[in-house]
């Protein structure tokens, strides 16, 4: 239960759940580098955005205040459970999550698969700290609140708003290390644009999300451990043994179409009888991976479809909360 500010009865009630990141970062006045992420609290952040109270009634809660490299599965479970719980309140219309950009795409996909509401859930952040000249956080936050408060956003899954673009939590990727236009979905395109507080939707993801997924995190204290192995020329196959000791599933960030050496293929085969599924994704950043008769000889080898390695890891981990059956996991990777 959260106490909702419903000051203006004509406006929607939006809840901001803050986790930190550069959007809440502070540093040397004017500079964009060498700052501390996760330093401002959500109240100061909200107060820094002009006319936010003209587009929605804002309530907020600080879930964490960390650099997003320090986000953990505990934070994910807390966030998803908070959204699932608060969304049952009839006086809540939508959510905005403020987050560091480095791992924002992972949290957005996790929420896309695990929140159980049709109410809008928007994730945003900033590339420049709040103290920089032309900080991008205030506009990203303003547009995220506007999107969360718009009826067109209902039932669209978890979305990301960044630099005037709207992206699906499934397809969004960080594509630049420092520019403010740091997110897009490469070949898969954006869902639409934001101009000031108005969304212009153009596309829709057909992949199941939120209320239509089979994943339920209620009551879970942790998620099955899934690790990622990055393949490169002459990569040591022993890394697979090392990761397999600690993991219930593996993702390989393969070359090209999710490929790797014959030494790695042999290692993956060895994991078949140990019950460890291995998802093949690609380090290229775009494209689709389908069954490859030369590589997917062992039943535990699963094509990762269009998911980037960090997102394939999330889906595999959630799949493992439901099943250990390789063909079921393959079905999940084709469907989501």
Q: Which residues are annotated as a binding site?
A: 68, 101-102
Annotated binding site for substrate: 68, 101-102
Cα 294 to Cα 182, 261, 303, 304, distances in angstroms: 36, 11, 12, 16
Residue 150, both tokens: 């718009």
273 flagged as catalytic:
no
Give CA–CA dist 138/237, Å, rounded: 46
Q: Which is nearer to ligand ASP, 21 or 258 (CB)?
A: 21
* CB neighbour list of residue 206: distance below 8 Å, 6 or more residues apart: none
State which residue has the least CB distance to ligand ASP: 100
Give the relative orientation of helices 238-246 and 262-270 as an angle to the nearest 10 degrees. Answer: 30
Q: Of 36-55, which residues contact ligand ASP (CB under 6 A)? A: 37
Q: What is the CA radius of gyration of the chain?
A: 20
| Closest CB 66 distance from ligand ASP, rounded Å | 7
Element (H, E) at 106: helix 104-114
Nearer to ligand ASP, 32 or 305 (CB): 32
Residue 100 binds to ligand ASP (criterion: CB under 6 A): yes
CB of 195 to ligand ASP, least distance (A): 23
How far apart are the C-alpha atoms of 318 and 323, rounded to whole Å?
Answer: 9
Q: Known catalytic residue: 72?
A: no
Reduced to 3 states (helix: H, G, I; strand: E, B; else coil), residue 281 is strand
Extract the tokens encoding 54: 């003209």
Q: Report the distance separating Cα 135 and Cα 126, nearest Å.
A: 8
Q: Does 247 bind ligand ASP (CB under 6 A)?
A: no
Binding to ligand ASP by residue 127, rule CB under 6 A?
yes
Q: Of the candidates 60, 67, 243, 276, which one interacts with ligand ASP according to CB under 6 A?
A: 67
The one segment of 65-73, 130-138, 228-236, 288-296 that binds ligand ASP by CB under 6 A: 65-73
253 binds ligand ASP (CB under 6 A): no
Interface ranges with ligand ASP (CB under 6 A): 21-22, 37, 67-69, 100-102, 125, 127
């Amino acid at each position: 239960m959260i106490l909702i500010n419903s000051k203006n009865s004509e406006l929607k009630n939006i809840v901001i759940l803050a986790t930190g990141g550069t959007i809440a970062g502070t540093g040397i006045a004017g500079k964009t580098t060498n700052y501390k992420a996760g330093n401002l609290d959500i109240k100061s952040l909200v107060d820094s955005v002009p006319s936010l109270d003209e587009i929605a009634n804002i309530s907020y809660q600080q879930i964490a205040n960390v650099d997003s490299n320090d986000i953990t599965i505990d934070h994910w479970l807390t966030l998803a459970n908070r959204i699932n719980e608060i969304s049952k309140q009839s006086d809540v219309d939508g959510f905005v999550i403020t987050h560091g950009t480095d791992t924002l795409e992972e949290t957005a996909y996790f929420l896309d698969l695990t929140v159980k509401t049709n109410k809008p859930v928007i994730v945003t952040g900033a590339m420049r700290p709040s103290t920089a000249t032309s900080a991008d956080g205030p506009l990203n936050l303003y547009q995220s609140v506007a999107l969360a408060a718009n009826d067109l956003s209902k039932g669209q899954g978890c979305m990301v708003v960044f630099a005037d673009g709207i992206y699906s939590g499934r397809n969004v990727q960080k594509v630049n290390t420092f520019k403010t236009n740091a997110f897009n979905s490469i070949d898969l395109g954006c869902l639409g644009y934001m101009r000031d507080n108005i969304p212009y939707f153009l596309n829709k993801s057909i992949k199941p999300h939120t209320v239509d997924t089979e994943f339920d995190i209620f009551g879970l204290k942790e998620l099955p451990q899934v690790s990622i192995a990055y393949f490169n020329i002459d990569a040591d196959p022993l890394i697979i043994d090392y990761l397999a000791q600690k993991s219930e599933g593996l993702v390989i960030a393969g070359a090209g179409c999710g490929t790797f050496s014959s030494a790695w293929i042999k290692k993956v085969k060895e994991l078949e009888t140990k019950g460890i599924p291995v998802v093949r994704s690609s380090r290229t950043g775009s494209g689709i991976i389908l069954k490859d008769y030369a590589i997917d000889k062992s039943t535990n080898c699963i094509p990762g479809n269009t998911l980037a390695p960090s997102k394939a890891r999330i889906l595999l981990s959630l799949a493992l909360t439901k099943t250990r059956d390789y063909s079921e996991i393959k079905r999940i990777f084709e469907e989501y």
